[in-house]
Amino acid sequence: MEPGKSTVMQEQKLHELLLYLSQNSPFYKELFSRNKINIADIKTLSDLALIPPVNKDDLQKRNDDFLCVPLEKVAEYTSTSGTLGSPVTIALTEHDLDRLALNEYNSFLCADGSANDTYQLMLTLDRQFMAGIAYYSGIRKLGAGIIRLGPGVPSLQWETILRLKPTAIITVPSFILKLIQFANAAGININDTSVKKAICIGENIRHTDFSLNTLGKKITEAWHIKLYSTYASTEMQTAFTECSEGQGGHYQPELMIVELLDENDQHVKPKEPGEVTITTLDVEGMPLLRYKTGDICMYDDSPCACGRTSLRLSPVMGRKKQMIKFKGTTLYPPALFELLSERDEILDFVIEVYTNEIGLDEVLLYLLLAEDSEEYDRRIRAYLQARLRVSPHIKYVSAEEMQKKQFTEASRKPTKFIDSRS
Ligand SMILES: [Zn+2]
């Protein structure tokens, strides 16, 4: 965390937040009283440790009690998926929508945006999706152009790119691969188009050491555009966005206090995995105090070559609930996905985690190989042993069996991770 000026500013804002919550939040009033917290005792950022963190289950079960304003002050209801089935509502006031715009304006500036840019938005602005409206209002504030096209339909995306000549696109990175495939088949020379950069949302394009992962490499090898990753969630109403250095998402200390906590709610050191825990600043509708997001990241607090000194967050390593403790190592599904995606021998996979007879996690990989051979089996086992230091169980399956594994429920997306732990 940035010492000095930023700490003083954050402590002042924290003081205002505590006062505001103690007066307006039914949930936090109760939390303070139940835990005998006197908000006057919380003066510095390190005093935050006196307040027990809350999580998504709290936010879901007590959703309405987080609202600090009368209903007539709510300007927009956004939502995010909950852990217990029904969605979680985040209500924003007019003031919060302005704050959201400022947050995204800062993010676009960080990602080398200017009024000279035109952004093609390949995502939805409907379905109570906060990010869509955040990008839209941030770009408006930036003075850049907007093409609000929505997700999917590569043919329409390309027709529009060629006609309106946007300089940047905003999308999930796996969709960029689809755009590349479509362009190649349609004879469009992608490196000769107006698009020079992409804001990548929802999926990682880098490893935790900030080098490009398989997806990031596949995109940039084919299409010579600059990728900027951004990480945010509806609850935090604030984004971490990369600058041109591509060394993690920059923190905005004036809008949020971030802590990375271990399993005992202690702060982790730089470059150690911890749960992203946030305290929103300047939020009026549903401010959050020490809210555990469930996302596991690492942070780097060394100054960035871009000149910014606020800490940077790594790509999300995984969800806390999906953490696998396997033979003394800690793993998250995305790292395994990445490992398996790197090998040409493996056409497709499903990872299953289950509890063995002595209560420990076991990992079983269902693999569809490009060729059913002993040589491939030997290579895969040697590779996994070298990269993981432990050997998961492997079961080779046919294309038909893989299909059955991946589409067990009524989901439209293939399942890559099955958690059968008891
Ligand atoms: Zn930077």
% of residues, the chain, pLDDT over 90: 90
pLDDT, residue 83, reads 73
Beta-bridge partners for 275? 261, 296
The answer to whether residue 4 scores a pLDDT higher than 70 is: no
Tell me which residue has tokens 């709290």.
58
Kindly give the distance from the C-alpha atom of residue 246 to the centroid of ligand 1, in angstroms, as a whole number: 7
Q: How far is CA 262 from CA 29, 205, 371, in A?
A: 26, 25, 42
Kindly give the distance from the C-alpha atom of residue 250 to the centroid of ligand 1, in angstroms, as a whole number: 7
The answer to whether residue 34 scores a pLDDT higher than 80 is: yes
Alpha-carbon dihedral 244, 250, 254, 260, rounded to 10 degrees: 180
CA dist., res. 242 & res. 199, Å (int): 9
CA dist., res. 249 & res. 40, Å (int): 33
Kindly give the distance from the C-alpha atom of residue 203 to the centroid of ligand 1, in angstroms, as a whole number: 20
**What average pLDDT is seen over the chain?**
94
Picking from 90, 47, 45, the residue whose alpha carbon sits closest to that of residue 283 is 90
Per residue in 297-339, pLDDT tens?
999 999 999 999 999 999 999 999 999 998 888 899 999 999 9
Q: What angle do CA 13, 18, 22 make, to 5 degrees?
A: 150
Kindly give the distance from the C-alpha atom of residue 231 to the centroid of ligand 1, in angstroms, as a whole number: 15
Q: How many whole angstroms from its chain centre is CA 203?
A: 7
Where b means 16+ CB within 10 Å and e means fewer, 79-96 reads bbebeeeeebbbbbbeeb
Starting at the edge strand that comes first in sequence, how are the strands of the sheet with 238-241 ordered?
Answer: 145-148, 118-121, 168-171, 197-201, 226-233, 238-241, 249-250, 312-313, 299-300
pTM: 0.91
CA dist., res. 42 & res. 59, Å (int): 23
The answer to whether residue 2 scores a pLDDT higher than 60 is: no
Kindly give the distance from the C-alpha atom of residue 110 to the centroid of ligand 1, in angstroms, as a whole number: 8
The answer to whether residue 365 scores a pLDDT higher than 50 is: yes
> Is 118 in contact with 166 (CB distance < 8 Å)?
yes
Kindly give the distance from the C-alpha atom of residue 226 to the centroid of ligand 1, in angstroms, as a whole number: 14
